[in-house]
């Protein structure tokens, strides 16, 4: 049998790391790394801060799952971006992620600064769900620092807030963490009560199919693990084994690599420890069973070595020492236990030092060194008594806290009694004052109601004025099309898809015409032209989506008949307009018009600061391209085959098929018809 010393085991572990590094060089990157690379590229391509934050959050989360140290700069950048965007919720969430990561990396000072900032900001803006999460993390940090008074205070506030919000998940975490404090104080019976309540609450949430449990596997694993540990300390080995198995079943669901490895190794250690105690107490385990326990203890050790968890390494090596003692390899057991003792003393892990001295005593006795066995047994007794004294101190401290709480509650009760007596003395005075007060309140209510009604009317009038003013820039037909009745109701992302007819118009040779005008004359010319065309479009059931200088883009939602009628009416109006121009000594104009029917999306795009109404569709492009061919075919009105097919009463129009033509910018030919109305 080989000697399982720490030095040899660490050498094997580092050799495994070297092999893993060589595999990474020889073989392609894993799917996880490919995902990280893709998310990094997406993040680096973003120009808008809000989009950079969202993409960075996904990128940082993927990195964090594999390397928490590498994720730190990304988390700090998340906080900076959230502050730049001025989104308080994002700032708090980013701070909580950073603070929790500092805790994982055993940097309590940094974690405290960040978590305190998150809690203060949550209180300031009144976001209770984030305040609850921040208090939970802060309490966990207090707990790790053995500051039980502040930890208990924070957990109680978490439970109260979570109950008011119906946030049963955070309430469950609060109860679970309170039980851990009780375990650390040695009060396993009380801790078990809280843990079993936590399990019941979790079961109820499962029945409700609460989606918030989707990524809650780590906490549930820890809960079942702690229940097993309580049962083990209370001597109920069978139930302890059962709950260790239940905790083990959740490990495959844990996504975080560190947590998965930690719980897997810890649960294996717990199961092995129970089985070792059974074998020692009953003395009926054969060599095969001891060898099986040795393999399981080594698996637990490998897991703790992988995450460099020194306490876990010491616990697993103690298991290995006990197993070697059970097998009969006393020399190897002695070396292993000596290494465990040194490591436990360095870690100041008194509970493990105590168990190690007991195991060394048994080992020395097996080797026939009874004097050494007695020395180890004395050391075991000293540590056992020291731990008991510490537990008594903790118990005393807990009782002092309870006494202080009782005294405060008693003081509050006395104040309540005095307040009730004072209330009775003032009852007569208050009764006389009550009628006057009711009258004042009634009068104030009437005045307030009138004031409120007046303000509501003013607000309604203001909103009507705003809508009326804004409708000159964004057509009300567009607003109604996306399901809103007023522009003040519009939200970012509002959209609708429908089939419409799009019309584009353009004054031919406008550049040549405008060259002979002064800027003011040019502007007035375009203004007069648009003033004549706009009403015709609206009269035929359409609306102007955009004035494009000398061009117009209009949308007709009902049918292409409306669009074609509008085009013919506009051509007639242009004839009248030309007479006016000629009378002034100016040249008449010709206007090309193209129309196409098809689907498009109307909606609101932009960001939190700037928004715009827009239309996205190939239908718009097709209508524009068809209009651009009117000059080439010397016809003022052209329509696509899609518009022609949807016309009602085609015989009332003089339409001629121009054939299938390739429109600029299209890869497929488009069927085009000309309306033979001419200037």
363-379 pLDDT per residue, tens: 888 888 888 888 888 88
Higher-pLDDT residue of 27 and 445 is 445
pLDDT at site 256: 72
- Over pLDDT 70: what percentage of the chain? 83
Using 50, 70 and 90 to split pLDDT, how confident is the model at 243? Answer: confident
424-452 pLDDT per residue, tens: 778 787 877 888 888 888 878 888 888 88
Task: Find the mean pLDDT for residues 464-470.
Answer: 55
Distance in angstroms between the alpha carbons of the first and the last residue of the chain: 107
How many CA atoms within 13 Å lie on the side-chain side of 118? Answer: 31
Which residues fall within 8 angstroms of residue 246, CB to CB, at 6 or more apart?
Answer: 224
Contact 271, 238 (CB under 8 A): no
257-275 pLDDT per residue, tens: 777 788 888 888 888 888 8
Contact 223, 198 (CB under 8 A): yes
- pLDDT above 80: residue 470: no
> What is this structure's pTM?
0.41
Task: Find the mean pLDDT for residues 590-608.
Answer: 87
pLDDT at site 404: 56
Ranking 15-29, 125-139, 332-346, 569-583 by mean pLDDT, the lowest is 15-29
- pLDDT above 90: residue 212: no
pLDDT at site 552: 94
pLDDT at site 542: 92
**Most trustworthy range by pLDDT among 280-289, 338-347, 638-647:** 638-647
pLDDT at site 487: 62
Instruction: Give the 3-state secondary structure of residue 459.
Output: helix
Task: Find the mean pLDDT for residues 280-289.
Answer: 82
480-531 pLDDT per residue, tens: 666 666 666 667 767 778 899 999 999 998 888 888 788 888 888 889 899 9
381-425 pLDDT per residue, tens: 887 787 766 655 554 455 445 545 545 555 655 666 676 777 777
Give the residue among 61, 114, 65 at the shortest CA–CA distance from 91.
Answer: 114
DSSP letter for each residue of 131-186: HHHHHHHHHHHHHHTT-HHHHHHHHHHHHHHHHHHT-HHHHHHHHHHHHHHHHHTT
Using 50, 70 and 90 to split pLDDT, how confident is the model at 21? Answer: very low
Q: Helix 128-144 and helix 148-165: axis angle, to 10°?
A: 160
pLDDT at site 12: 37
Task: Find the mean pLDDT for residues 67-74.
Answer: 89
pLDDT at site 24: 42
Helix, strand and coil percent figures for the chain, each rounded to 5: 75, 10, 15
Interatomic CA distance for residues 538 and 558, integer angstroms: 12
- The count of residues in the chain is 679
- pLDDT above 80: residue 93: yes
pLDDT at site 279: 84
pLDDT at site 214: 53
- pLDDT above 60: residue 158: yes
pLDDT at site 563: 94
Task: Find the mean pLDDT for residues 185-208.
Answer: 78
Task: Find the mean pLDDT for residues 292-309.
Answer: 87
DSSP 8-state secondary structure symbol assigned to residue 474: S
Ranking 292-301, 456-465, 581-590, 602-611 by mean pLDDT, the lowest is 456-465
Interatomic CA distance for residues 40 and 542, integer angstroms: 46
pLDDT at site 216: 61
Task: Find the mean pLDDT for residues 338-352.
Answer: 84
pLDDT at site 473: 55
Q: Which two tokens stand for residue 60?
A: 């940082």
pLDDT at site 555: 93
Ranking 89-98, 127-136, 218-227, 542-551 by mean pLDDT, the lowest is 218-227
Interatomic CA distance for residues 273 and 323, integer angstroms: 10
- pLDDT above 70: residue 83: yes
When the pLDDT of each residue in the chain is averaged and rounded to a whole number, the result is 80
pLDDT at site 20: 35
pLDDT at site 556: 95
Contact 165, 128 (CB under 8 A): yes
Interatomic CA distance for residues 566 and 538, integer angstroms: 9
pLDDT at site 399: 47
- pLDDT above 90: residue 572: yes
Interatomic CA distance for residues 595 and 626, integer angstroms: 7
């Amino acid at each position: 049998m080989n000697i399982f010393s720490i030095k040899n085991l660490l050498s094997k572990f580092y050799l495994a790391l070297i092999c893993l590094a060589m595999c990474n060089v020889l073989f392609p990157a894993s799917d996880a790394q490919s995902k990280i690379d893709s998310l990094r590229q997406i993040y680096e391509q973003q120009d808008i801060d809000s989009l950079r934050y969202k993409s960075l959050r996904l990128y940082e989360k993927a990195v964090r799952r594999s390397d928490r140290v590498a994720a730190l700069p990304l988390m700090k950048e998340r906080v900076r971006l959230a502050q730049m965007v001025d989104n308080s919720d994002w700032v708090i969430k980013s701070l909580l992620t950073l603070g929790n990561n500092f805790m994982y990396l055993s940097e309590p000072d940094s974690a405290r600064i960040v978590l305190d900032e998150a809690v203060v900001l949550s209180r300031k803006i009144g976001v209770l769900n984030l305040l609850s999460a921040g208090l939970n993390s802060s309490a966990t940090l207090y707990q790790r620092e053995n500051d039980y008074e502040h930890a208990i205070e924070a957990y109680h506030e978490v439970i109260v807030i979570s109950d008011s919000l119906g946030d049963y998940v955070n309430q469950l975490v609060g109860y679970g963490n309170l039980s851990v404090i009780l375990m650390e104080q040695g009060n396993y019976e009380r801790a078990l009560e809280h843990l079993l309540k936590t399990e019941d609450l979790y079961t109820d949430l499962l029945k409700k199919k609460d989606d918030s449990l989707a990524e809650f596997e780590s906490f549930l694993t820890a809960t079942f693990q702690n229940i097993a540990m309580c049962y083990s300390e209370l001597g109920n080995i069978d139930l302890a084994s059962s709950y260790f198995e239940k905790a083990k079943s959740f490990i495959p669901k844990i996504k975080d690599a560190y947590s998965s490895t930690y719980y897997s190794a810890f649960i294996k250690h717990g199961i092995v420890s129970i089985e070792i105690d059974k074998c020692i107490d009953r003395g009926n385990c054969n060599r095969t069973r001891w060898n099986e326990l040795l393999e399981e203890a080594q698996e637990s050790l490998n897991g703790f070595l992988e995450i460099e968890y020194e306490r876990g390494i010491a616990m697993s090596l103690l298991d290995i020492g006990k197993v070697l003692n059970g097998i009969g390899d006393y020399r190897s057991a002695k070396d292993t236990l000596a290494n465990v003792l040194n490591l436990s003393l360095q870690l100041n892990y008194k509970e493990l030092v105590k168990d190690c001295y007991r195991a060394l005593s048994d080992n020395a006795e097996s080797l026939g060194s009874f004097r050494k066995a007695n020395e180890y047994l004395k050391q075991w007794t000293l540590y056992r008594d020291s731990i008991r004294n510490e537990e008594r101190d903790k118990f005393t401290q807990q009782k002092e806290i309870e006494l202080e709480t009782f005294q405060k509650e008693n003081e509050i009760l006395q104040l309540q009694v005095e307040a009730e007596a004072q209330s009775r003395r003032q009852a007569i005075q208050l009764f006389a004052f009550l009628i006057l007060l009711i009258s004042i309140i009634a009068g104030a209510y009437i005045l307030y109601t009138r004031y409120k009604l007046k303000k509501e009317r003013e607000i309604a009038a203001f909103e009507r004025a705003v809508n009326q003013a804004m409708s000159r820039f964004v057509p009300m037909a567009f607003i109604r099309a996306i399901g809103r009745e007023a522009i003040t109701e519009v939200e970012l992302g509002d959209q609708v898809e429908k089939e419409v007819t799009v019309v584009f118009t353009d004054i031919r040779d406008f550049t040549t015409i405008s060259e002979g005008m002064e800027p003011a004359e040019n502007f007035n010319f375009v203004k007069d032209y648009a003033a004549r065309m706009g009403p015709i479009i609206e009269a035929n059931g359409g609306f102007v989506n955009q004035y494009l200088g000398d061009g117009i883009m209009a949308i007709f939602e009902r049918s292409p008949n409306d669009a074609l009628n509008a085009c013919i009416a506009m051509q007639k109006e242009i004839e009248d307009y030309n007479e006016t121009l000629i009378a002034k000594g100016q040249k008449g104009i010709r206007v090309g018009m193209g129309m196409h029917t098809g689907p498009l999306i109307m909606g609101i795009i932009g960001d939190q600061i700037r928004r715009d109404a827009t239309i996205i569709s190939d239908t718009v492009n097709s209508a524009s391209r068809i209009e651009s061919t009117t000059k080439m075919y010397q016809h003022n009105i052209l329509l696509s085959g899609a518009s022609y097919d949807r016309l009602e009463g085609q015989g009332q129009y003089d339409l001629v098929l121009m054939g299938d033509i390739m429109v600029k910018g299209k890869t497929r030919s488009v069927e085009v018809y000309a309306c033979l109305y001419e200037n």
